Structure formats: C-alpha cells, structure tokens
Amino acid sequence: MSRLEREFGCDRIEEARWEQVKRDYIGLLIDHKQPECAETFFNSVSCKILHRTYFHNRCLFVRPAASTEHIDADPPSYRSYYPRQHGLRPALVDIVLDFRLNTRFADFRRDVRNVVGAFRARFPRPLRLEANHQIQVLSSLFFRNRTAYIVGRVINGYHLWPFVVPIKHDDQGRLYFDALLIDPDDIALLFSANRAYFLVDMEVPSAYVKFLHGMVPVRTEAELYTMVGLQKQGKTLFFRDFLHHLKHSTDQFIPAPGIKGLVMAVFTLPSYPYVFKVIRDNIAPSKDTTPERVKEKYFLVKHHDRVGRMADTLEYSDVAFPRARFAPELTAELKALAPSAIEEDGDAIIVRHLYIERRMTPLNLFLEKATPGQRERAMRDYGDALRQLAAVNIFAGDLLFKNFGVTRFGRVVFYDYDEIDYVTDCRFRRIPPTPPGYDEMSNEVWYPVGPKDIFPEEFETFLLTDPAVRKDFVAHHADLLDAEWWQSVQATLSGGALPEVLSYPERIRFGAPASAR
C-alpha cells in the first residue's frame, strides 16, 4: 500500500492504468485456491488508493471474475464414509481418527455409544438404507471458545440431514463428545452471526461455504463467509447481494419504525431484511458520549464473545445510495441529524460511515402485540440475555426494551451498543435507606451517584412498568433486580473464571463427565 502511494499517489493513478492492473491481476487468479478472497483484497487496496469516483466495475471486482466452483483441495474439503459397508460405529471411529487429534478421549467407547444412540433416536428403525448412503464430514474442525465442532451431513438417497458434534475438554484435559446437534434450528443458531466467529483452517473456503449453505440454507453465503472468519469476503458478498436487490426492487428507503434513538439515525428498505445506522452529529447530552466513543463500543462488540445475544454489524464507508430511492422524510432526517455523514453527488447520496445489521422486531413493539405466552417467553429470554452477557463481562447499559430485538427464531438480542460497559468496570449498589426528615417531593437524591454506579432495584421502576410484563420477568429473573447478584458475577469474573455460554441447548447434551462439571 505504501509503495503504491509513494510511486503513484492517489492523484496520479489513471483509470485506464488501474483497469490494466485489474486485467493482469485476473490472470493470477486462474489457479488460485481462494480467488474470491484475492478479489476482495484487490478491492480493499483499490478503495484505499483510488478516488471514490473510480469505484465501479472497471476498477473493482463488483462482480466475481473467477469461478469458485470445483476448486480442488489437497486433502479434499470433505471426506466421505459409508456405514453400509461396516456399520455406523466403525464409520464414526474412522471420522474421529481422520482428524488425527493429539489429545486422548476420556472414554471414547462411551462417546461413540452416545452419538450412535442419538442418531438412532433421530432415525427410528427400521430405516431403509439407499444405495447412496454416506456420511460426509468437513476435513477441518471448527473452533469457537473452548469447543471444537465436527461438521457433517448424513445422506440417504435424496435425503440430507446435517449434524454437528461438539468436542470439549474435561478437567484433566481429556476429550469427550458433549452433544449431537441434528435439529435444523439448533444448527442454524450455532451458525448465528450474533455469536463469535469460528476459527477454521481452510485451503478452499468456497468449498466449505458451499457445504455449509447446504446444511443451513437460512444463512446467506455472505453470512457464512463471515462466520468462518472471512469477514472482508462476507462484506463483499453482502454488498453484491445488496446491489442486486436494488436492481430488482423499487421501494424506498425510509426511517426505521420504532422509538427514535438519541445516538443513531436508523433507516431501512422494507423489502430488504437489514437496517442502516448512522451516528448522529449531535448526540443527546443525556447520553454522555461522542461519535468516537460510539465507534469504540462497536469495535469492542465486534471482537468480543457475543454469546448469541449481540447483533453482528457490517461497517462500511462511502456507500452510494440512489437518491431517487430515498424517501423525502428520510433525506430530511439525515440532513438534520447527521449532516457531516451525508454528501449529495449527482444522482447519489453518499453515506460516509454506517453500520448495517439484520432487521429485528424491537422488543417493545413485540410486547405490544404479544400473546400472554409470547410475552412470558420473551421476558424469560430477555433476562437470559442479560445473564449470558454478564457471564462474558458485558453490561448492556441501557436496558430499555427498544434496544433489544426479537429474531426470526424468537431469541432476544441486544443491538444498541453506545452504553455497553464491562461488568467488572461497573459499581453495582443498593439504594441507601431514606434519611430521617427527607422531603419525598424533592427532585434531589439523598445519596451520591458516580458515573459507573448501577442500582439494579431501579430496573423494576423504569423497565417493568406494565404489571403483566413485571410479573413474567420477576417469575424468572427476580435476582437480576438485586445488586448482590451482579456483585457475585463481578467476583466470579475478577477471580479469573469465565463461565462458558453454550452455543447449543442444554437439553441435547449427553451429560458432561463428572470431571468436567
């Protein structure tokens, strides 16, 4: 990058010269194992060097120039096993042996028995085995936090069933199988963008993404690239999908429904399942933050364990939107709230910096129309979200329902990060008793309050104003209204312990060995 700037400079690079650079670069992609990632790298360099007016197909890879189909990997991206020949148990043994794990299993016979039993419970006998009956398993393990995952699929004739087997360590450092994920919803939640990305060793990423897309069709290829740690490529594919959608739709961008934020201006395209967030120039004084600090909070979330409870974001600069697709009220709102982030350039409106998140139903709007059963489940999950975030040292800060969303899977997820903080940096307190003679009509509190002071008992006053909502929350999470619960979490975290929040339901676990409890 520095060499290009030194030898050519941004104002000295001609468009025709950069087009020739791109053509020569394409020739290098013919035998490349990761051509899509190489194209994304070229785009990143180009966007740093070129003026924005050159951001078009002749100078960038707006569309892929090299196919990712049938790229050979050595060893192959997935291996196939045939239970009809020797049985399911020997096939499972071979699958594990082929990973060449250095650490021993605590009780491998027990683990194989657990997996076989779970498979047979999912496929009750008699199961007619077709001629094409095989198990296909990706050649590399997937790593996240303290768990490794075997990822594969069972094929029987024209039917396909994805599965995932988590591998964990017990207290002696030995391995054991913890569960079998075979329900599509459980697997979809495992591959959720609201969780930390996986670490995967892949020679041909496109083959892994294609395999995963067949397992989890509800996830886009852009999301899957991001989840296996290739976020730049995920952003490239997302933007290609976005441009394609704009070409095949006519609706307008509008302000996002719901309560207006004090930090962000948020807009959406009704036909597209995402929201676009721009930091306001003048943030409300009550928020006590700055645009720079807001960016730091979003950076923190991006690199923190999100435990399935914080929405992932895609961050872009200099995004050109067609001016004709912006509703007049949206253009007026952005000019009023974030004028420094907006530039009008011919038929385009340029947004200099924005975050993009998958659209969810704000929890406050969800509760307005929820049935009693839906409300009870939502409040239980809302409290679970606070607990799980606290377990990984995150305090959401602003706990208002408008800052949480309900996903298509019915999970409550946090998405407003301007006030998040580490639990260990907060000071959770009880409100001191009222002193004698205190005037209850006074607007002044009788105790000092510091910038990091949190009074959990106030949550009930400010959050649980609806009696039915309060009843459902207190039934499951009354301890969250007590400073002692938060102080106990702080003590656990300060002692160096970091409880693990599982990426799959507790109900499907085989039962951890005694040494792992």
DSSP string, 431-470: PPPPPTT--TT-SS-SS---TTEE-TTHHHHHT--SHHHH
Please give the positions annotated as active site. 312
Q: What is residue 355's predicted lDDT score, i.e. its pLDDT?
A: 96
| pLDDT value for 258 | 81
Residue 367 is predicted with a pLDDT of 96
Domains assigned to the chain: 2-54 (no CATH), 78-245 (no CATH), 252-359 (no CATH), 362-481 (1.10.510)
Rounded mean pLDDT for each run of 10 residues along the chain, 517 residues in total: 61 70 90 93 82 63 87 91 89 95 95 92 80 95 96 94 96 95 95 93 96 95 95 94 95 91 93 96 86 92 91 92 95 94 91 94 94 96 96 92 93 93 94 74 74 91 93 96 96 84 92 58
Contacts of 241 (CB under 8 A, 6+ apart): 220, 222
What pTM did the predictor assign? 0.89
> What are φ and ψ of residue 199, in 5° steps?
-110, 120
Count of residues in the chain: 517
Cα-based distances in Å from 229 to 106, 225, 258, 425: 30, 7, 33, 29
pLDDT value at residue 517: 46
- 516 secondary structure, DSSP code: G
Quote the CA–CA distance of 60 and 114 in Å, as a whole number.
Answer: 51
Tokens of 253: 């961008």
CA 137 to chain centre: 24
**DSSP state letter for 350:** E
Report the alpha-carbon angle 104-105-109, nearest 5. 135
